[in-house]
Chain A
Amino acid sequence: MTLQDLQPGESGKILEFESSVRSERLMEMGMLPGVIVKVVRFAPLGDPIDLRVQGYHLSIRRDQAAKIHVSKCES
């Protein structure tokens, strides 16, 4: 499953990035494999997504999220 499949309130552990997404910047900002991200909410028009990573809020688009594989965390 990918980050895009998570609903607001759900968390996932990052597994890997598809190579087509520009993952370097995201990784430099702390979105590394193994890190847990929480989907906080979707923007009013459904896109982008507000994520919580490493204690701060990061916003990315859904099509980028669709290229980040995660495993869902049970809370």
Chain B
Amino acid sequence: MSIPTPLTVALVGNPNVGKTTLFNQLTGLQQRVANFPGVTVERKSGSLTHSPHIEIVDLPGTYSLTPRSLDEQIAYEVLVGRRGKSPDLVVCVVDAGNLERNLYVVSQVIDIGLRVIIALNMTDAAEENGLIVDVSTLENELCVPVVPMVASKGEGVDHLIEKILNHGDQAQPYRWTLMDAVDAKIPDLTNILTEEAPQVKPEHKRMEVLRALAEDEALDGWRPQSPNFVKRIEELRQEFTDRGVAWKHAEISGRYAWLGQIVNKSVERVRGPATMSDRIDSVLTHKFFGPLLFVIILAGIFQAVFSWATPAMDLIESGVSAIATAIQSVLPPSWATDLLTDGVITGVGNVVVFFPQILLLFFFLGLMEDTGYMARTAFIMDRVMKRVGLSGGSVLPLLSSYACAIPGIMAARTLDSERDRLITIMIAPLMSCSARLPVYTLFIAAFIPAGAFFGILGYQGLTMFSMYIMGTVMAFVAAAILKRFIFKGPDSYFVMELPPYRRPRLRQVFVRMIQRTKVFALRAGKIILGCSIVLWFLASYPKVDSTAEINQAIIEAEQQRDTTLAQALVSNTDVNLNTLNDSVATKDKSLEHQQVIAQQNDQDHQSVIDSLIIIQQSAQIRGSAIGHLGRILEPVMQPLGFDWKISAGLISAFAAREVIISTLSIIYSVEEDEEGVALRDAILADQYPDGRPVFTPLVALSLLVFFVFALQCMSTLAIARRETNTWKWPIVMWLYMTGLAYLASLLVYQGGLFLGFS
């Protein structure tokens, strides 16, 4: 048996032709697939199932080997060997329904001397559109193997693998004709290039010459190193212009002329194209119904996310508290048990409660992506984006930021203007991501009544929708400001392919939903688990010794049975009597109080003592490390309506937004000394020492607004650093968003107070 030689196979082709679908079939992996151009934005690799020596590389889609955006640049660099070795074999994935345009980049790949196999994909859709491709004619014309397939159903994949394993020779490059006037000049230019830039591989020379001739950017790239080459090309351009030679499009026209003939010979139209997709479009992008449906769809999604998830959330909530209670009853009381129940289970569990909502959100986003509606939103929104200086191309990264800003920021790579890309990165974190969802839900469920307008438009869902709108509108405003003052320049272009609508593949949507949730859970899980443990220690230590004060207070209260102190305490705490009695009975530290209670049956006395326990417990939490931290911040946060607990929560949320849920629940559970109190109820019950509620609807609103705008996510900063290659933009981003959050909350709270709300 011969030792298998390692082989690298790259998947190349236009955007949205099924490269990743095929990649997943070949490798058994689950990379992201969706029905709009520009889904894959980085190089992904995996090995062919059962053949570990064959590496399959998935690449971003590209229309040509003249990259015009960052994602295309990556595909280009891999192909020409600027990112490691050039691939040994290229599988060019083409859409059988649109051969001419798809073969353009294939002909370029053949020309730079790469071995090519054509995967003729989407033959099912082509047939529906009345197109039949004659595979053998195509093979003969192009002189490369052609494998017809339906990647989404796995048809033809085995045949392709066979061809990969027995790949033949390389096809002869440059079989198309370049116009004579230009062709005549190529040898001369190639020679100059060889002298000035000996590092250019022989098989790339002709491509480089043609590119430098046609494109100013390409030409500028040669300026420092190859002045004579540049000079010669500039002279030639002038000469051609004088002679009336269409030099700019020489290559493109030459290739298309050749491809046109090939396609004429090998494609047969048996029937007119299907019209389903057009009919759907005439509704979804209708002048009037289009935008209306867009808003209805989005509002519907948030409504559904809010209401459909409730049963599952309730279930998880009771599950979590049951677990905490069970552990507490099984394990001996110790600090470790407290850490487990009050810290880990409370902290993590309270976030897990929100997973059903996150799943639903991901499901709907996946549905939009898979049907092709996502691309239409770019089409509908381009006009609006133009107003703020961007283009419809930014809509896709922004919409995917509703799930998470990180893929959103990466998706900005598809934009062909670097300025647009930077602006999009800077505003993407203003789109409400799934990590804000738990925070929104918690406070909306606590403070917004459950009713509905006309029985369908739930108040809670609408409030949530308005949070998303608020973030989105602010993103537009920020874009306009950035464009006007920082990234000045002319308007962007908008050139986008609109894919046909496709029936969503539910399996695909589900797989994607689970995957996104897993990523979310793993990231959040690590941060939340870590934070919860740290937070529990911060909330429980240092131990405050308040015995002396309490004893003192008991004596005083005894002495002045009817004094005002006692009465004040009594009136404050009547409500808590029962719960406190229970906890008193179970806790060591209340032993002495129990004795006191036993001695004195007087009701007043009991209340006095109960209130003393409250004093002791809140002294503990206030005296803990987190209490100190929170109270340092309190003066700064007071104007926004936040007490020290919320302030502490906000600070912890800068690690990741969901952590505020953990912080609040840990603070409350350490303080309450009781398991299983729903966080929502604890929030509603919390009071200042003078009896005012800590959370009022106005405070909740102020907090929500803070979360809409604040950039509280380390991962976003890290990814922005990677994508912009400098710390400058992430820092600017953090400062402007945090500043915005503070000001907006200040405005809401102070404005609310001024208007007489409390």
Structural contact, A59 and B379, CB atoms closer than 8 A:
yes
Q: Given A45-B383, A48-B383, A56-B98, do A26 and B285 touch, yes or no (CB 8 Å)?
A: no
A47 touches B495 (CB 8 A): no
Of A33, A46, A55, A59, the residue contacting B495 (CB under 8 A) is A59
Q: Chain B residues with Cβ under 8 A from A46's Cβ? A: 383
With known contacts A28-B252, A59-B495, A60-B495, A41–B101 Cβ distance under 8 A:
no
Please judge, given known A-B contacts A44-B287, A56-B98, A61-B493, whether A27 and B252 are in contact too, CB under 8 Å.
Answer: yes
B495 adjacent to A50 (CB under 8 Å): no
Is B384 a contact of A45 with CB atoms below 8 Å? yes
In the bound complex, CA of A45 to CA of B379 (Å): 10
Known: A40-B278, A43-B285, A50-B285. A28 touches B382 (CB 8 A): no
Tally of chain A residues near chain B (CB < 8 A): 31
Write the B239-255 contact mask toward A (1 if CB under 8 angstroms, else 0). 00000000011001100
A7 contact set on B, CB distance < 8 A: none
B273 touches A55 (CB 8 A): yes
A32 touches B379 (CB 8 A): no
Q: Which of B601-642 contact A (CB under 8 A)?
A: none
Partner of B101, one of A29, A33, A44, A50: A29
When each residue 342-382 of chain B gets 1 if its CB lies under 8 Å from chain A and 0 otherwise, what string results? Answer: 00000000000000000000000000000000000011101
Residues of A within 8 A of B252 (CB): 24, 27-28, 32
Bound CA span A63–B490, Å: 13
Of the candidates B378, B382, B416, B499, the one whose C-beta lies within 8 Å of that of A47 is B382
| Assembly CA distance A58 to B375 (angstroms) | 11
Residue in contact with B380 in the complex, picked from A24, A43, A54, A64, CB distance below 8 Å: A43
Comparing B38-46, B61-69, B320-328, the segment that makes contact with chain A is B61-69
Query: A44-B285, A56-B98 are contacts. A29–B495 as well, Cβ < 8 Å?
Result: yes
Contacts A43-B382, A50-B285, A50-B379; A58 near B100 (Cβ below 8 A): no
- Contact partner of B498 (CB less than 8 A), chosen from A45, A50, A54, is A50
B314 within 8 A of A: no
Residue of B whose beta carbon sits closest to that of A58: B497
CB-based nearest A residue for B382: A48
* CB of A25, distance to nearest CB on chain B (Å): 6
- Cα A57 to Cα B16 in complex, Å, equals 13
Please name all residues of chain B whose beta carbon is closer than 8 Å to the beta carbon of A40 when the two chains form the complex: 278, 281
Q: Mark A1-33, 1 if CB is under 8 A from B, else 0.
A: 000000000000000000000111111111011
Contact A55 B98 (CB under 8 A): yes
Asked whether A41 and B282 contact (CB < 8 A) given A24-B215, A30-B100, A55-B98, the answer is yes
Q: State how many angstroms separate the Cβ of A23 from the closest Cβ of chain B.
A: 8
Instruction: Report which of A22, A54, A61 forms a contact with B98, defined as CB distance below 8 A.
Output: A54
B392 contacts A by Cβ under 8 Å: yes
- In the complex, the chain B residue whose C-beta lies closest to that of A27 is B252
Give which listed residue, A28, A50, A56, A60, contacts B64 with CB less than 8 A. A28
Interface residues of B in 66-89 (CB under 8 A from A): 66, 68
Q: Report A16 CB to chain B, min CB distance, Å.
A: 9
List of A residues within 8 angstroms of B256 by Cβ:
30, 32
Contact A56 B497, beta carbon cutoff 8 Å: yes
Contact call A43/B379, Cβ cutoff below 8 A: yes
Closest Cβ of chain A to B18, distance in Å, is 15
Asked if B100 and A54 make an inter-chain contact with CB atoms under 8 angstroms apart, the answer reads: yes
B453 at the interface (CB under 8 A from A): no
Q: A24-B252, A43-B383, A46-B383 are in contact. Are A58 and B285 (CB under 8 A)?
A: no
Cβ of B67 to closest chain A Cβ, rounded Å:
11
Q: Which of B215, B248, B383 lies at the interface centre, i.e. has the most chain A CB atoms within 10 A of its CB?
A: B383
User: Residue of B at shortest CB range from A52?
Assistant: B278
A59 and B494 in contact, given A43-B383, A44-B287 (Cβ under 8 angstroms): yes
| A29 to B287 alpha-carbon distance, docked (Å) | 27
Q: Name B493's contact: one of A32, A43, A55, A64 (CB within 8 Å).
A: A64
Residues of A within 8 A of B278 (CB): 40
Q: Separation in Å of the A38 CB from the closest CB of chain B?
A: 11
* Cβ-defined contact, A58 with B249, below 8 A: no
Known contacts A25-B68, A55-B273, A56-B101: does B497 contact A47 (CB below 8 Å)? no
CA of A39 to CA of B147, assembled, Å: 34
Given A44-B285, A44-B290, A56-B98, residue A28 in contact with residue B495 (CB < 8 A): no
List the A side residues contacting B63 at CB < 8 Å. Answer: 25, 28-29
Q: Which of B68, B100, B215, B291 has the most CB of A within 10 A?
A: B100
Q: Across the interface, name the chain A residue whose C-beta is closest to B104.
A: A28
Please report the C-alpha to C-alpha distance between residue A50 and residue B287 in the assembled complex, in whole angstroms.
13
The answer on a CB contact under 8 Å between B291 and A44 is yes
Partner of B379, one of A23, A30, A48: A48
A61 close to B494 (CB less than 8 A): yes
The answer to whether residues A29 and B497 also contact, given A24-B66, A45-B383, A54-B101 and a CB cut-off of 8 A, is yes
**B contact residues around A43 at 8 Å (CB):** 285, 290, 379-380, 382-383
Residue of B whose beta carbon sits closest to that of A19: B248
Bound CA span A40–B100, Å: 21
Known: A43-B290, A44-B380. 18 other contacts (CB 8 A): A23-B248, A24-B214, A25-B495, A27-B253, A28-B252, A29-B497, A41-B281, A43-B380, A44-B287, A44-B290, A47-B383, A50-B498, A56-B497, A57-B499, A59-B495, A59-B498, A61-B493, A63-B491
**B residues in contact (CB < 8 Å) with A:** 63-64, 66, 68, 97-98, 100-101, 104, 129, 214-215, 248-249, 252-253, 256, 273, 278, 281-282, 285-288, 290-291, 378-380, 382-384, 386, 392, 416, 491, 493-500
Q: Can you list 28 A-B pairs with a CB-CB distance of less than 8 A?
A: A23-B249, A24-B248, A25-B68, A28-B64, A30-B104, A32-B256, A33-B253, A40-B278, A43-B290, A44-B288, A44-B380, A48-B383, A48-B494, A50-B379, A54-B100, A55-B129, A56-B498, A57-B498, A57-B499, A57-B500, A58-B498, A59-B378, A59-B379, A59-B495, A61-B493, A63-B491, A64-B493, A64-B495
Q: Which 5 A-B pairs give the minimum distances between C-beta atoms? A: A45-B383, A57-B498, A44-B290, A30-B101, A28-B64
